[in-house]
Amino acid sequence: MTNKFVGKRIDRVDARDKVTGKALYSADFYQEDMLYLKVLRAPHPHARINSVDVTNARKIPGVVMAITAKDIAWVKNFGMIFKDQEVLVREKTRYMGDALAIVAAETPAIARQALDYIEVDYEPLQVLSDPLQAMDKKAPYIHEPREENCEPGYNPGNLLCSHRLERGDVEKGFAEADKIIENEIRTPHVEHVALQPEAGVAKYDKDTGVCTMWVATQWLHDIQADVAQALNLKAEQVQIIQPAIGGAFGKREDVSVHIIIGLMSILTGRLVKMEMTREELMITQNKRHPIIFRYKTGVKKDGTITAWEAEVIGDTGAYASTGSAVVHQALYMCTGPYNVPHLKGVSYTVYTNNTYAGAMRGFGATQAAFAYETQMDCIAAELGIDPLEFRRKNAYELGSITPNGQILTTSVGIKETLDKAAEIFGYEPGRLSKEVNGKIRGVGVSSSMFGCGYGEGFPDHSIVDLEVTREGKILVRSAAADVGQGILTVVCQIVAEVLDIPMDLVEMAPGDTHATRNAGSTSATRQTIFSGNAAKLAAEELLGKIYHRASLELSKHHPQFLVRDGEVVLQGTETRISLAQLARISREKGDPLQAEGCYFPRTDVPDEATGQGRLVYVAYTFNTHITEVEIDKYTGETKVLRVVAVPDVGRVINRVGVEGQSEGGTVMGLGMALMEKQVIEEGITKNADLSTYLIPTSLDMPEIITDIVESGDAAGPYGAKGVGEPALLPAAPAIINAIYNATGIRFYHTPVTPDEILQALQARASKNF
């Protein structure tokens, strides 16, 4: 059967509103009588707070309210996993983004002015900005120790948690190896740079006791729960309405303005608005975790990997956020999509006085991909084996076992991605660098894997509700956040496919905690699988109800029906009835045409001692990049010339959407490889604006060719898998590996800057001379 919509190049359902300016983002909401909020942040990254005096700020004309922690003793701590963050700091600051006071004023200018009149008395404490330093038992505590995070030999106040991974006998594997390769590989803080800064508007209704917010989030119902518990409200007393979202990449999983606008709307009884500046956002909000990887790999002369040992140390900053999950996922993905019979590893998630780290595209798997692909390239070079052939020799296939012990029984297309990428690129095994007019060219290969969904036994589901409206259209209610990746379009495609109706007859209701049910977060590359499946189940149920109602109205003999252009047609006749008529009749008879779909698969909680399980993730997405770079040996500047990207997505739902994710992920990886680093020294952010924090521009764009492997039979609708995060994973390591191929110089960190390349080239030339 040929699909009408699935697998096709379908325009985004929200595109017209965005390009015409009709779409409203959080910062666009405005009323003349609303108050504006500003927050006084920490004066020092680690300090004992003696007092915060807002007396003079309250005297400024136009200031309606100024509060400190002592004014809100009833407010509780918040946090994604551990409730370790205070809304307003009571005793000490742990990083520069900690909030000390909130001002509500009639204009933004007055609110900003009032911050200058707040007096803070504090005593600086030792700043811990290095996770290795913070792990030392002699280091001062950033948080009070908890029994569950006590690891012998390490600081109990600074070690958030540790995880372990073990399968086989790693010592036996090393004994079988002909060579053992050891490396330390590092990744830095990286900022998300979502186009839209954090902003939100809130209004409290005293009569109903409901606080309504118009604010962006990747996870409506979880943020609703976190806001409610912090403000001592029931979940139903917090209504979050999702505006258009200008990018996220994981940043909007965390609370930003949400609790503050809710709190101040309750205290003032007025509509309030808070909008962060880019500088404030870059100092206060979560980053990608800096991670140290220490790898030891055993390998035979023929290229067979025998053993892999890993130590993973992640800097989660001042607060936990999702750090415990991110860092241990970096451990769980430590060997990439490669067969390793014996492995052992441990991860440590460590508090420091840096800006806290949390979810960012890849969720630990991005850092791990750079690490294991660097290690794989080093091994291939040590053995004298072509890097693509070395990867292919060890790559997963049906029956392979992941580091967590999951046996892969379906949709394993990693070798196909390698083969197709090589064919399209025109890859030449053993290719050496080429130099023309002082420009050196090199080629790098990288592959990756990503586990889709939360996995690891974490409750994970999505609910989609459908209804035939009086106009004969299909109204879709889903809380799935579209942060730019296109899930709303995917859901509409699936509904239109099942019901066999035009796409313009499918409409999406706005995301709203009071009108849509939980779809989980837009993260973990899960929405196509989870909300896509839920939409398909709901559409199938609705189709049955439509046919049943049509049979009652048109024939009692249960004949065959077709839905065509908004009408139900009795096959072989001219008899037909519109969906609008059916909807009206069904409502009149008290049985409206409605359906729900819920997708709720189960996964295993990995064993605490070994990290092993049977079904740890519902699906794995694979991806391969082959990249060509050109390096100016006189300046060190690297230009990425072309990238061939081949993801295995199981089955394509929206082809242009997959291509867009691939191109966007490639560009983000280019930034990670060559320029992006949030510089934090002694807890102080040094480049908190877009003139000093560099990201790729149109001038940096390479030629990007995306082809797709459809290995099929995955957990998602029609055999689909997700692609949002996997699109990024191989990009940076392929570029760094290409730099090695061009120069013969290996870099074990990101980003690799022109100065570093030039210095390395000059040092080698001086040594050879």
At 233-244, the pLDDT tens digits run 999 999 999 999
Query: Looking at the predicted structure, is the pLDDT value of residue 650 above 70?
Result: yes
pLDDT at 313: 98
Number of CB atoms found within 10 A of residue 41's CB:
18
Q: How confident is the model at residue 568 (pLDDT cuts 50, 70, 90)?
A: confident
pLDDT at residue 352, as a whole number: 98
pTM of the model as a whole: 0.97
Predicted local confidence at residue 566, as pLDDT? 78
Asked if 96 and 42 touch (Cβ cutoff 8 Å), the reply is yes
* Amino acid at residue number 743: T
What pLDDT is stored for residue 146 in this prediction?
79
Q: Is the pLDDT of residue 303 over 60?
A: yes
Using CA atoms, how far residue 717 sits from 64, 480, 527, 535, 711, in Å, is 52, 16, 11, 9, 13
**Residue 478 pLDDT greater than 80, yes or no:** yes
Mean pLDDT of 89-99: 98
- Of the listed ranges 507-521, 569-583, 606-620, the least confidently predicted one is 569-583
Give CA angle at 559 (557, 562), nearest 5°: 150
434 pLDDT above the threshold of 90: no
**Model confidence pLDDT, tens digit, residues 7-43:** 999 999 999 999 999 999 999 999 999 999 999 999 9
Alpha helices (runs of H) in 396-523, residue ranges in sequence order? 414-425, 487-499
Would you state the torsion angle of the CA atoms of residues 524, 526, 527, 531, taken in this order, to the nearest 10 degrees? -140
Q: How far is residue 208's CA from residue 234's CA, in Å, rounded to a whole number?
A: 12
Residues 429-453 have a mean pLDDT of 91
Residue recorded with tokens 């006749």: 573
Percent of the chain with pLDDT over 70: 98
pLDDT reported for residue 557: 60
Asked whether the predicted pLDDT for residue 125 surpasses 60, the reply is yes
Alpha-carbon gap, residue 409 to 184, rounded angstroms: 33
The closest of 534, 519, 474 to 499, measured between CA atoms, is 474
Q: Where in the chain is the domain with CATH 3.30.365.10?
A: 15-22+457-599, 287-455+607-768
Tokens representing residue 126 in the block: 């030792």
Q: Is the pLDDT of residue 558 over 60?
A: no
- For the ranges 137-151, 260-274, 462-476, 537-551, the lowest mean pLDDT is seen at 137-151
Within the chain, all domains assigned CATH 3.90.1170.50 are found at: 31-125
Average pLDDT over residues 601-612: 96
Degrees to nearest 5, angle at CA 607 with 603 and 612: 75
Q: Span 31-125: which CATH code?
A: 3.90.1170.50
* pLDDT at residue 415 in the model: 98
pLDDT for res 484 = 93
- How do residues 38-62 score in pLDDT, each as one tens digit? 999 999 999 999 999 999 999 999 9
Architecture of domain 287-455+607-768 in CATH?
Answer: 2-Layer Sandwich (3.30)
Yes or no: domain 15-22+457-599 corresponds to CATH 3.30.365.10: yes
Res 181: pLDDT: 98
pLDDT at 574 over 90: no
pLDDT band at 551 (very low <50, low <70, confident <90, very high): confident
| pLDDT for position 769 | 63
Give residue-wise pLDDT tens across range 689-711: 999 999 999 999 999 999 999 99
* Percent of the chain whose pLDDT exceeds 90: 92
Exposed/middle/buried for residue 277 (C-beta within 10 Å: 0-12, 13-18, 19+):
middle
More confident of the two residues 152 and 614: 614
Residues 567 and 460: their CA atoms lie apart, in Å, by 36
H-run or E-run covering 16: helix 15-20
Write down the mean pLDDT value for the chain.
Answer: 96
For 388-413, what is the mean pLDDT? 98
Summarize the confidence of residues 427-435 as an average pLDDT. Answer: 84
For residue range 181-234, list pLDDT tens digits in order.
Answer: 999 999 999 999 999 999 999 999 999 999 999 999 999 999 999 999 999 999
Q: Of the given ranges (269-273, 557-561, 747-751), which has the lowest mean pLDDT?
A: 557-561
User: SS3 string of 349-407?
Assistant: EEECCCCCECCCCCCCHHHHHHHHHHHHHHHHHHHCCCHHHHHHHHECCCCCECCCCCE
Q: Comparing 690 with 147, which gets the higher pLDDT? A: 690
Nearest to residue 303, comparing CAs of 374, 372, 391, 417? 391
State yes or no: pLDDT of 326 exceeds 60.
Answer: yes
Lowest mean pLDDT across 143-157, 437-451, 468-482, 608-622 = 143-157
The pLDDT, as a whole number, for residue 575 is 78
Mean pLDDT, residues 108-118: 98
Give 103's strand partners: 38, 66
